[in-house]
Chain A
Amino acid sequence: MLKITNYKNKIIFLSVIWILLLIAVSIWSVFTGQYPLTIKGLLDGDKMMLMVFFRLRLPRVIMGIIGGFGLSIAGYVYQLVFKNPLASPDIAGVSSGASAGAAFAIVAVSASAPFISICAFAGGLIALSITLLTAYAVPGKNKYTIILTGIAIHSVAQTILMFLKLAADPEKQLASIEYWIMGSLNGISIDSIAIPFFITFIGFFIILLLYRQILILSINEDEAASLGVNVTIFRFIILITATLIVSSIICVTGLISFIGLIAPHIARLLTGRNDRFTYISSGFAGTIIMTLSDIFARSLSSSELPVSIFTSVIGAPLLIILLIKSNKKEDL
């Protein structure tokens, strides 16, 4: 088996692999679906094919790339900042806040996609704001304060969600809520991509620029302060950035589980480090898992299945294989 000892060569090798895989799954995704697309038809200017390509397939592929990338880099940051290999966006109550927001939109107003997205985004932000404000108001705060406050807010949001489910019309509204919670890239339009794209793009660069501070935050608080990092301020900025990325994505796609947890581990097992390249690799791993999951979600059954089923089905075995192959002890 090919073994690369020089880290620079490893970076080049993995970068090429990531780009080739991304191109391959994107092309596969574009040509997957109920309406068959052909290269010839697209080049010949077939109106129906062009419409399906530009209105349905392309937005879906782009959202898969943005969603997978954003959820993974956010998960990567959460795991570092909370020094917890199991940390994910749920830790600050964001996912459950967004679910409650989406359910509110479906039950109280209408099930129109843009309105659900707005309410889900607002729900996620409200949950995050309450978590952070409460955590920072608590005297003697530390990293556990945010986690514990997040658990409390998560429970409250879950309770609200439960009430909304009880109030929902079981025929239609309840199914819509459940379907939203299971996550899907179905019905993504080019307009709905703009916000997640810009937030993920800007968030990615903020995290990249603050990467040194994030690494220092992954050490204990006293050591971080002795290295000149204001733990409270930087932790706040970094968590807000990562959480905004997650909120902007899940408000469009619904909840997509496991990617934010698993992709960072896959990237770490491949590079054996926690540097900037591993951070970017984590995004690529997430993008590929997400796009593959979406391909299977719409091709394995006559009706479309939730993406989250496949993110777990693809991600979990991949992680286990890498864990078995990795002969190095990895703490995080």
Chain B
Amino acid sequence: MPDLIVPTLDISDVSVYYGHKCAVKNVSFNAHSGHIYAIIGNNGCGKTSLMKAVMNLTGHNGICRLNGKTLEKMSVKKRARLISYIPQKTGINISMTVREVCLLGFNPHLRIFESYSSNMRQQVDKAIDSVGLAGLYNTDFLTLSEGQKQLCILARTLIEDTPLLLLDEPDSALDFANRHMLMKHITHISRNNKCVIMCIHSPELALEYSDVIFLMKNGKIISDIDVHTADITEINEKMSFLYSNINVVECADANGRLHKTVLSL
């Protein structure tokens, strides 16, 4: 039966080369809005290169389409209206207030010399409130904790309001509590008909928060797991392609809700 749903993101035969070294080899997949896709794999497997190819930040072969439109043919600004990006660690290293950082999210929607309206400032304050940073509007971004910084960038992403969110190891600098808080916010965002693709190191977080997991090794997607339908045996079998001796189990929380988690490696 043909797939009647038009995919939000269609990655078709994407390869990335750095000189003669092939970082991503003929990767193809579809991703739909309202879902979270996790790409897991060891360091150097090509996750970040794939993200950069989707954002057209690196030269690549193949085509990336979003809602049927070819991303490679778009201007930087047009692409920014469709894709927002959360890096491992933001490159902001100058003193700016939390509000100023979030206002930058409006840039793709503004004309070159246009300035922010008071309505935009109100929207920014709401976004800051929604990620739990209420009251910190005029705080210097550099004085925030790493967790708060990522939440501030997440608020900026809310302002960008794009159909596709790319997250490159957004949890890497965060402690246990902040990591889960960030992931809960991301889950909440995806429910708003957004397509979320995140590179992540932790199989536990991928199993807990994503809908589909892509397993990446040596520049290729070697398998995928539908977290909601796959049984434990299938998950263990596929995870073992990346991690030998992995032990994924299913357990219930205090409310009786089932979770899949990694017991040991």
Contact = CB atoms under 8 A, between A and B. Distances in A.
B76 A272 contact: no
Contacts of A331: 93-95, 142
A80 interface: yes
A219 B90 contact: yes
Given A215-B96, A273-B95, A228 B55 contact: no
Contacts of A226: 55, 80, 83-85
Interface string A20-46: 000000000000000000000000000
A229 B112 CA distance: 10
Interface residues of A, number: 31
A175 B41 CA distance: 66
A268 B107 contact: no
B94 A228 contact: no
Nearest to B115: A212
Interface string B147-171: 0000000000000100000000000
A198 B256 CA distance: 73
A83 interface: yes
B57 A222 contact: yes
A124 B142 CA distance: 37
Contact of B105 (A209, A218, A227): A227
Interface string A215-237: 11011111101111110000000
B87 A229 contact: no
A212 B77 contact: no
A329 interface: yes
A83 B91 CA distance: 10
B76 A219 contact: no
Interface in A247-272: 268, 272
B94 A332 contact: yes
Contacts of B224: none
A80 B94 contact: yes
Interface residues of A, dominant DSSP: loop
A228 B57 contact: no
Contacts of B107: 212-213, 216, 227-229
B154 to A, nearest CB: 14
B55 A219 contact: no
A218 B57 CA distance: 17
A272 B140 contact: yes
B104 A273 contact: no
Contacts of B110: 212
Contacts of B84: 226
A179 interface: no
B91 A223 contact: yes
Contacts of B100: 215, 273, 275
A230 B93 CA distance: 20
B34 interface: no
Nearest to A272: B95
B242 to A, nearest CB: 26
Contacts of B138: 7
A220 B85 CA distance: 12
B95 A268 contact: yes
A330 B87 CA distance: 22
B91 A225 contact: no
Nearest to B162: A226
B52 interface: yes
B7 interface: no
A223 B86 CA distance: 8
Interface in B89-116: 90-97, 100, 104-105, 107-108, 110, 112-113, 115
Nearest to B55: A226
B9 to A, nearest CB: 15
B96 A274 contact: yes
A83 B104 CA distance: 18
B121 to A, nearest CB: 14
A228 B77 contact: yes
A274 B79 CA distance: 27
Contacts of A329: 142-143
Contacts of B81: 228
Nearest to B59: A140
Contacts of A216: 104, 107
Interface in B41-80: 52, 55, 57, 75-77, 79-80
Contacts of B85: 222-223, 226
B87 A222 contact: yes
B225 to A, nearest CB: 28
A328 B141 CA distance: 13
Contacts of A268: 95
B87 A218 contact: no
A273 B76 contact: no
A213 B115 CA distance: 11
A216 B106 CA distance: 12
Contact of B93 (A7, A215, A225, A332): A332
Interface in A271-308: 272-275
Instruction: Identify the 6 closest CB pairs spanning chains A and B, nearest first.
Output: A220-B91, A228-B80, A228-B108, A226-B85, A228-B77, A219-B91
Given A222-B55, A226-B80, A274-B95, 18 more contacts: A7-B138, A209-B113, A212-B110, A212-B115, A216-B104, A216-B107, A218-B92, A222-B91, A226-B85, A227-B107, A227-B160, A228-B77, A229-B107, A230-B76, A274-B96, A275-B96, A331-B93, A332-B95
8 contacts: A83-B91, A213-B112, A219-B92, A223-B87, A226-B84, A273-B96, A273-B97, A332-B93
Interface of A: 7, 80, 83, 209-210, 212-213, 215-216, 218-223, 225-230, 268, 272-275, 328-332
